[in-house]
Structure 1
């Protein structure tokens, strides 16, 4: 398995280079990984003490951020290296204040693992949730370097728990301790005789709770919303945007404002969305030239402000689960105590199942179900407020993962 894995990694590198000219996202990753070692060498001296945080993408970064902040505050004299595998994480957080150096993780070949760790030499490595790379982790263990995995979530169909998965299973044992999101993940680890594990919960609950301590005011959103009921659709994809457009176009009688924040903000897709709406619609990029109070729909063609926008929502729709892209962050709106509508493809997201069972989230699969759910939440104030409070209570009940991790690390 080790031989096959290493051949696959080498082949993947060649394939990615071949595809790169035709795919902008892959191209960014290929070019970024070429610079990783030179960036590290320019920023790390041989005498520096370092910590290393690794995240697959932006979601895992947000998940790990409360722990990263705690470590940053304690290890003030250490160089902190933050790595991403995905361009969507790197592009948005390449200037993250919790890190001194931000790079793409090189492909997981044995040679790259040795080179990376020869430069970084981390006293402590923190991986978030998954993105478990066997060669890098094995090299960490061989050097006696500490590594932990936080907010881990496992499924029984993963190779770690199959008879043929010894090579990948071995990578898990490179972690000195694993903090899981749930009891089922803990039991799966124990089934392969991994004992240094505990259920800490998901650090995202701590992350989103901290949002309430920030200044979430956005005057232009307040101008747009005015005194009206507001539906915020966050991280939307075309399939969900069609439901939204149809609802808005056929319910002109409702005195409601709508904010749509697409996941992809490509100009063509934004203009298509705008043209599908038969009412006064303003883009974020056009806000200074429009009277926002007169608009019914506000389209957010920028990134980085959605978590604050949810502060103005009375109802949220979160995209990703109508297609196969994966449900986006539902905890961000939940912390503001509002009900949430999502698609029906959410089996890999336990927080969705929990909020649905608690009565604060509603899963839909077609236009009729979407219309019925949104209509009920708009027109029944008591039902809307009760549903939202259930989501906030769920957030409050699941905080505390960061404290457990920090206590383990004794900082």
Structure 2
């Protein structure tokens, strides 16, 4: 099985190389991987001793951030290395000040793994949520390096619980402990003989509460949104935009702020082509021209988590693609959240729907029904928003639970 696994990783590496000719993300990944070992040779402490934290992408990094910052606050001399799998994580956080090393994770092939660990010499490894790299986990166990996963969540459909998933079940045994989000995950793991498990919840709730407390003041956004009902559409993709822009065009009583997931010019032009109301790009906005606008396109990064506070309703994109983006980031401001149908892997989305603070849509008609009610019924809008905010508060505290077990003195 290990041969097949390595072949699969090698094949993926080659596909990235091929895709890099036409795909910007793949090109960034290819270039980033070329530089990993040179970067480490130049910057890593030969003595090692790092706490190594791996996040697939930006969302997983944000889940791990409360842990990272607590470690650094209590042990300022402790060296921390952070690796990313995805360019969307690395490119945004490559200059993060709380880490001593930040780079891509070398592809999970035996030579890469040994070379990486020989340089880093980690004293501890922490993986976040979904990351299960067989060669890395096996090598960490052989070197007796304590390895943990936090905010993990498991589903019956995953390969660990399939008849042919023996190799992957075995690599789970390499974790010193697994900190999972819910009891269902713990039960699934127990059924396959994995018992070093604690239910601690999702650290992302702690992170969004931190973000809310540090939200930026955005005077132009405040000025734009203060007089009319405003929908904030975050991390949107074209399929999302087709639905909510069509509704917006037909409802002059509302305003719209769009923070698309990708802000390259082709995507911005696609959005503009669908809008038939006065629209301005955030980077071109000022106190005068924003007064005439009905829609703002956020054509820069780093503002979305602060922008949600200025809306009455949020729409979180990705639900018509690989999966929804960060729902708690919006819900923390006590506003209802709407998202597309591909949310089944996201516990927080399912629970928010049940609670009454979240709404799933599959087509334009669904969106219209939900928005009409939120737009016209103030009591319903208020109740849904309060429910969303309370859900975040009720599920916070995972970071403290994990830190108490890993570092009792914190």
TM-score by length of 2: 0.96
CA distance in 1, matches of 2:299, 2:370: 26
Match of residue 207 from structure 2: 207
Instruction: Please name the residue that 2:39 is paired with.
Output: 39
Residue aligned with 2:258, SS: strand
| Aligned 8 A contact 1:181 1:202 in 2 | yes
Equivalent in the alignment of 1:335: 332
After TM superposition, the structure 1 stretch with the greater mean CA deviation from structure 2, 11-20 or 240-249, is: 11-20
Aligned to 2:369: 372
Is contact 2:248–2:255 with CA below 8 Å preserved after alignment? no
Structure 1: give runs of 5+ residues left out of the alignment.
Answer: none
Deviation at 1:290, TM superposition (A): 5.1
Q: Distance in 1 between matches of 2:331 and 2:287?
A: 32
Gap runs ≥5 in structure 2: none
Alignment of 1:219-258 (within 5 A): 219-252=219-252, 254=253, 256-258=254-256
Aligned residues: 408
| Cα distance in 1, alignment partners of residues 189 and 341 from structure 2 | 29
1:332-377: CA deviations, max 9, x gaps?
1111001111112211111111111111111112212211211211
Question: Alignment partner of 2:201: what SS?
Answer: coil
Q: Deviations over 1:318-339 (max 9, x none)?
A: 1111x12211111011110011
CA contact (8 A) 1:48 1:78 kept: no
Which whole-Å CA distance do the structure 2 matches of 1:72 and 1:172 have between them? 28
Deviation string, structure 1 residues 173-225 (Cα, Å, up to 9, x no partner): 11101000111111111111111101101111111111232143111111211
Residue 48 of structure 1 deviates from its aligned partner by 4.1
Alignment of 1:123-162 (within 5 A): 123-162=123-162
In the TM superposition, what are the counterparts of 1:60-71 in structure 2 within 5 Å?
A: 60-71=60-71
Shift, 1:74, TM fit: 2.4
Q: CA deviation at 1:3?
A: 1.4
Contact persistence 1:282–1:297 (CA under 8 A): yes
1:387 aligns with 2:366: no
Instruction: State the 4+ residue runs in structure 1 displaced beyond 3 angstroms.
Output: none
Of stretches 36-45 and 281-290 in structure 1, the one that deviates more from structure 2 is: 281-290
> Does residue 1:358 correspond to 2:327, yes or no?
no
Q: Identify the match of residue 344 of structure 1 among 322, 330, 341.
A: 341
Partner SS state of residue 395, structure 1: helix
1:192 and 1:180 map into 2 onto residues whose CA distance is: 15
Distance 1:215 1:263 in 2: 20
Between 288-297 and 239-248, the greater mean CA deviation after superposition: 288-297
Equivalent runs, 1:222-301 vs 2, <5 Å: 222-252=222-252, 254=253, 256-288=254-286, 291-301=289-299
Distance (Å, rounded) in 2 between the aligned partners of 1:219 and 1:396: 27
- 286-295 or 128-137, which deviates more: 286-295
Q: How many angstroms apart in 1 are the aligned matches of 2:48 and 2:157?
A: 41
- How big is each residue's C-alpha offset from its partner over 1:84-117, in whole Å with a ceiling of 9 and x where there is no partner? 0111111111011221111000010111111000
CA gap 1:48/1:110 in 2 versus in 1, 3 angstroms = closer
How far apart are the structure 2 equivalents of 1:229 and 1:15?
A: 46
Per mean C-alpha deviation after superposition, the further-off stretch among 267-276 and 56-65 is 267-276
**Contact 1:226-1:293 within 8 A present in 2 as well:** no
User: How far apart, CA to CA, are the structure 1 residues paired with 2:391 and 2:158?
Assistant: 28
Matched-pair contact (CA < 8 Å) for 2:236–2:260: yes
Q: Is the 8 A contact 1:344 1:365 kept in 2?
A: yes
Separation in 2, partners of 1:79, 1:397 = 33
Corresponding position: 1:315 with 2:325: no
C-alpha contact 2:36 2:103 (8 A) present in aligned 1: yes
Partner Cα distance (2:240, 2:163) in 1 = 40
In the alignment, the residues of structure 2 paired with residue 17 and residue 226 of structure 1 have an alpha-carbon distance, to the nearest angstrom, of 48
- TM-score, normalisation: structure 1: 0.96
Q: Is the Cα contact below 8 Å between 1:358 and 1:390 reproduced in 2? A: yes
State the Cα distance separating 1:78 from its structure 2 match.
Answer: 2.3
Secondary structure at 1:154 match in 2: coil
